[in-house]
């Protein structure tokens, strides 16, 4: 009876996580659509340096955001006892650290601006620093919604943030606010998110700091905290090197070029972790099931990743012209490289969830350290050859990291190279058919407008890819569509 109850509980958790993932995908997709439309409009209005200024400030904010969290978010999600007291403690710590970072960034902003050689970085950074205090007011609410896998409610503040930020930024840009359109749009979006999350979640915090609970939470979150610091460093290293060595205008080009792969592919992979981690956790004691789950995740991810990556690689020219305008044509070669980077990054993307599920997050930390050691010289050397060289350096480091990661994962879930290759066959077959179709469509529409060319290429490329998959993966497609319909 206990075993049955335990199995039912696991099944319920996985079902709840799956349903949450659908809502998370919906929130992410609609949110990023708003961001894409906003960026497309702003790219035509604002100066190129404006994006570089905000990109530098956002990098600094991202680093400090890890310090603000201290790994307490993950610790609170994992905690089962005295959750209310723990939530109050985390809220109090977040509030203290958030306001401290907002204040401390004022005297340090000029030094950061000096490092990047542009005094405008300082006021932009100071204003964006206000987000630390604002986010502290709603961070625990978001954590509690995540803990309960209630992504349907989380959808509301997420969308509110994206819509208000987009509308405000565009309105201010047309009014002539320049870079401040991006800054104040960001602030208004965060403020809206905080207000909405307080409305959708009735939990009300108390200012309380229980040392015993704080000590336990910080101990649990220590490994996550260190791994987060290194991950954020790895994710933003290219931006730092570009801004420092190549200038803010080059950073603007870099930022827009990598934004599409991040929004269309990498961001979706992060959303999928909402199902892979709980699913792997539920089968952690069954090696065969864990192996099948790992291989299935690779198969599904590649079915999604291959057409997106190939589409960006083959039609980078019309994509940049349509989305960002002719002012950003020098981002075209970068987009092609980052399309390959996003695909490589997607292979085995969720392997890290296996390490966490089997109670070995230390392996994930060691892999992150390895990635950091590899990434620093790769990007630094690549930057000597300009933006394109830097992008190739980042791609090289990612290829090596993925090879090592998959090799180590094979030791824990008994995966071999032939198994992985087998899971890549459906997407590889679809991609092999898609490439000549897209190439012919590009050639046949050379005299058309960029918008028409992109529309034709996208249509025929999608039809070719989905058509092949419908032949070789029809049963899985039908099951997936039925499952999504039930979850919604």
The total number of structural domains in the chain stands at 2
Q: Which helix (H) or strand (E) holds 70?
A: none
Give the residue-averaged pLDDT of 401-421. 79
CA 35 → CA 22, 167, 195, 361, distances in Å? 20, 10, 20, 33
Give the residue-averaged pLDDT of 93-102. 88
Q: In the predicted model, is pLDDT for residue 13 greater than 70?
A: no
Residues 382 and 327 placed together within one structural domain of the fold: yes
| Residue 215 lies in domain | 1-242
Residues 151 and 198 placed together within one structural domain of the fold: yes
pLDDT at 320: 94
φ, ψ for residue 359, nearest 5 deg:
80, 30
Most confident segment among 3-7, 323-327, 470-474: 323-327
Give the residue-averaged pLDDT of 416-423. 77
Banded model confidence at residue 10, pLDDT cuts 50, 70, 90: low
Q: In the predicted model, is pLDDT for residue 314 greater than 90?
A: yes
Residues 147 and 77 placed together within one structural domain of the fold: yes
Q: Which helix (H) or strand (E) holds 240?
A: helix 211-241
pLDDT at 1: 44
Residues 107 and 137 placed together within one structural domain of the fold: yes
Which of these, 118, 70, 113, lies nearest to 224 by C-alpha position? 70
Residues 214 and 290 placed together within one structural domain of the fold: no
Q: In the predicted model, is pLDDT for residue 371 greater than 90?
A: no
Q: In the predicted model, is pLDDT for residue 345 greater than 80?
A: yes
Tell me if 172 sits within 8 A of 181, measured CB to CB.
yes
As a whole-number percent, the residues of the chain with pLDDT over 90 amount to 24
CA 444 → CA 261, 362, 451, 454, distances in Å? 26, 52, 14, 12
Residues 140 and 49 placed together within one structural domain of the fold: yes
Which of these, 194, 349, 268, lies nearest to 30 by C-alpha position? 268
Domain boundary among 217, 242, 267: 242
Residues 201 and 300 placed together within one structural domain of the fold: no
pLDDT at 230: 79
Cα separation, 475 vs 488, whole angstroms: 20
Residues 109 and 162 placed together within one structural domain of the fold: yes
Domain boundary among 242, 274, 297: 242
pLDDT at 438: 93
pTM: 0.78
Banded model confidence at residue 486, pLDDT cuts 50, 70, 90: very low
Cα separation, 44 vs 113, whole angstroms: 26
pLDDT in tens, 251-305: 889 988 988 898 888 877 766 665 554 455 455 556 676 677 777 778 778 888 8
Q: In the predicted model, is pLDDT for residue 483 greater than 60?
A: no
As a whole-number percent, the residues of the chain with pLDDT over 70 amount to 81
pLDDT at 406: 81
Q: In the predicted model, is pLDDT for residue 18 greater than 90?
A: no
Mean pLDDT of the chain: 81
pLDDT at 479: 62
Q: How many residues does the chain have?
A: 488
pLDDT in tens, 142-165: 888 877 777 788 888 988 988 999
Cα separation, 273 vs 344, whole angstroms: 17
Residues 104 and 118 placed together within one structural domain of the fold: yes
Banded model confidence at residue 71, pLDDT cuts 50, 70, 90: low
Residues 390 and 335 placed together within one structural domain of the fold: yes
Residues 20 and 134 placed together within one structural domain of the fold: yes
Banded model confidence at residue 390, pLDDT cuts 50, 70, 90: very high
Tell me the torsion sign for CA atoms 385, 387, 390, 392: negative
CA 26 → CA 23, 74, 152, 350, distances in Å? 5, 23, 9, 20
Which of these, 472, 352, 483, lies nearest to 408 by C-alpha position? 352
Give the residue-averaged pLDDT of 437-454. 92
Domain boundary among 242, 271, 300: 242
Cα separation, 452 vs 4, whole angstroms: 57
Give the residue-averaged pLDDT of 334-343. 94
Give the residue-averaged pLDDT of 224-228. 72
pLDDT at 487: 46
Residues 271 and 417 placed together within one structural domain of the fold: yes
Banded model confidence at residue 343, pLDDT cuts 50, 70, 90: very high
């Amino acid at each position: 009876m206990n075993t049955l109850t335990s199995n039912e509980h696991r099944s319920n958790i996985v079902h709840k996580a799956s349903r949450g993932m659908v809502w998370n995908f919906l929130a992410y997709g609609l949110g990023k659509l708003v961001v894409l439309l906003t960026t497309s409009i702003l790219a035509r209005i604002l100066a190129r340096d404006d994006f570089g200024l905000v990109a530098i400030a956002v990098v600094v904010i991202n680093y400090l955001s890890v310090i603000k969290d201290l790994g307490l978010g993950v610790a609170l999600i994992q905690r089962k006892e005295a959750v209310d007291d723990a939530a109050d403690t985390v809220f109090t710590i977040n509030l203290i650290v958030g306001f401290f970072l907002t204040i401390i960034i004022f005297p340090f902003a000029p030094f950061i601006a000096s490092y990047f050689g542009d005094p405008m970085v300082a006021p932009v950074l100071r204003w964006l620093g206000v987000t630390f205090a604002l986010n502290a007011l709603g961070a625990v609410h978001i954590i509690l919604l995540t803990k309960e896998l209630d992504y349907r409610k989380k959808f509301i503040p997420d969308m509110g943030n994206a819509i208000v930020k987009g509308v405000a930024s565009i309105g201010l840009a047309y009014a002539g606010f320049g870079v401040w359109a991006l800054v104040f749009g960001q602030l208004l979006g965060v403020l809206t998110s905080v207000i909405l999350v307080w409305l959708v979640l009735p939990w009300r915090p108390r200012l309380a700091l229980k040392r015993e609970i704080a000590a336990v939470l910080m101990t649990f979150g220590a490994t996550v905290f260190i791994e987060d610091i290194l991950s954020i460093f790895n994710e933003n290293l290219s931006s730092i090197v570009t801004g420092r060595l190549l200038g803010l205008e080059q950073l603007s080009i870099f930022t827009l070029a990598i934004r599409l792969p991040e929004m269309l592919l990498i961001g979706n992979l992060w959303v999928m972790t909402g199902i892979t981690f709980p699913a792997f956790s539920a089968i952690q004691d069954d090696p065969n099931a864990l192996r099948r789950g790992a291989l299935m995740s690779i198969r599904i991810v590649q079915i999604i990743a291959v057409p997106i990556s190939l589409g960006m690689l083959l039609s980078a020219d019309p994509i940049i012209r349509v989305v960002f305008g002719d002012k950003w044509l020098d981002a075209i070669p970068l987009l092609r490289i980052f399309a390959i980077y996003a695909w490589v990054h997607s292979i085995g993307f969720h392997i890290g969830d296996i390490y966490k599920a089997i109670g070995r997050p230390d392996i994930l930390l060691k892999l992150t350290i390895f990635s950091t050691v590899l990434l620093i010289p790769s990007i630094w050397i690549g930057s000597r050859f300009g933006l394109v060289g830097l992008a190739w350096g980042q791609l090289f480091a990612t290829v090596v990291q993925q090879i090592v990661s998959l090799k180590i994962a094979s030791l824990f879930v008994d995966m071999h190279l032939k198994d992985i290759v087998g899971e890549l066959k459906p997407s590889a077959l679809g991609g092999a058919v898609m490439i000549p179709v897209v190439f012919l469509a590009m050639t046949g529409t050379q005299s058309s407008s960029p918008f028409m060319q992109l529309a034709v290429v996208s249509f025929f490329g999608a039809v070719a890819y989905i058509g092949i998959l419908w032949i070789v993966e029809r049963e899985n497609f039908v099951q997936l569509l039925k499952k999504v319909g039930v979850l919604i």
